[in-house]
Structures are given as structure tokens and as C-alpha cells.
Amino acid sequence: MSRVLGFGYKKISIERKKENQISKINTNIEITNIVKKELDLFKGKDILDVSYDFKIIYDSAVAELDFEGSAIIEVDDKNLFKEIISEWKNKKIPEEFRILVMNVVLSRCNLKALQLEEDFNLPPHIPIPRITGAESSSKEK
């Protein structure tokens, strides 16, 4: 089991380039670096500093959001910790750990992105739940 000890942003960038109709929005998450980290508060624990880059790109070069930062993650399983360090030398990540990191980045960055999209008058990059009225399945006679 792994747990997130910290999460931070090093860069948040948003640019609206054009006032065009937007039909397609792409997102991309990349893990850019993984390093062992020593923290005084967690002496003797297996801690990783995982750097990420999360982009939201609106089609036709209309707008782009970019988040760069890192998550500090404690890995309780010594074998998994060694596997992560070993595989990262070849820029690979064990699936279990990759999923954890991606979910952490998505949960944090998506919230911030929605706020920025509203501020810049951009459509949300993820569907927002909406309430609709009930439709009758048969016509009254």
C-alpha cells in the first residue's frame, strides 16, 4: 500500500489563444521523473518524489492549460519500492504505482483546471453533471 504525503504545483499555465468554437479537448498526463526522497519526519521510510506534467489542450490552438509539479508518496512495500526505482531507470513504472500517481494528479489538477476554465471562459474539459426534467415515455390521450 502506498500513500500520498504531499502534492504541489511548480508551474500552472493557462493561455487562451483564440475565440473559436471548441469541438475537441485532449488531456495528457506524463510522469517526468521519480527520485528517492529523504524526509526528516519520515526517517527510514521509502519515500518517492514523483514529478508530473498534466496538459489540457483545446483543438485548433484555441487554449492550453499546463500543470507541472510533484507528489510525495510513501511506498510501504519494500519490493514495490525497489521495483519502481529499478524500472524508472528505463522510464518504466509498475502498473499499480502508475495508476495511483495518475489518479492523484487527475483528482488535484482537474479541480484546479475547472476553476481556471471558468475564469478564462473556456468550456470544462470534463463533463459536468446536469439535472434534466423527467420525460414522459407515453403521450397522454
Tell me the pTM: 0.85
Burial degree of 66 (CB within 10 A; 0-12, 13-18, 19+): middle
Domains of the chain: 2-119 (3.10.420)
Q: Can you tell me the distance from the alpha carbon of 133 to that of 106, in angstroms, rounded to the nearest whole number? A: 31
Contacts (Cβ under 8 Å, ≥6 apart) of 103: none
Sign, Cα dihedral of 111, 47, 70, 33: negative
Q: Can you tell me the distance from the alpha carbon of 96 to that of 73, in angstroms, rounded to the nearest whole number? A: 13
Q: What is the pLDDT along the chain (141 residues), one digit of tens a residue?
A: 789 999 999 999 999 888 877 778 999 999 999 999 998 888 889 999 999 999 999 987 889 999 999 999 999 999 999 999 999 999 999 999 999 999 999 999 999 999 999 999 898 999 888 888 876 555 555
Helix, strand or coil for residue 134?
coil
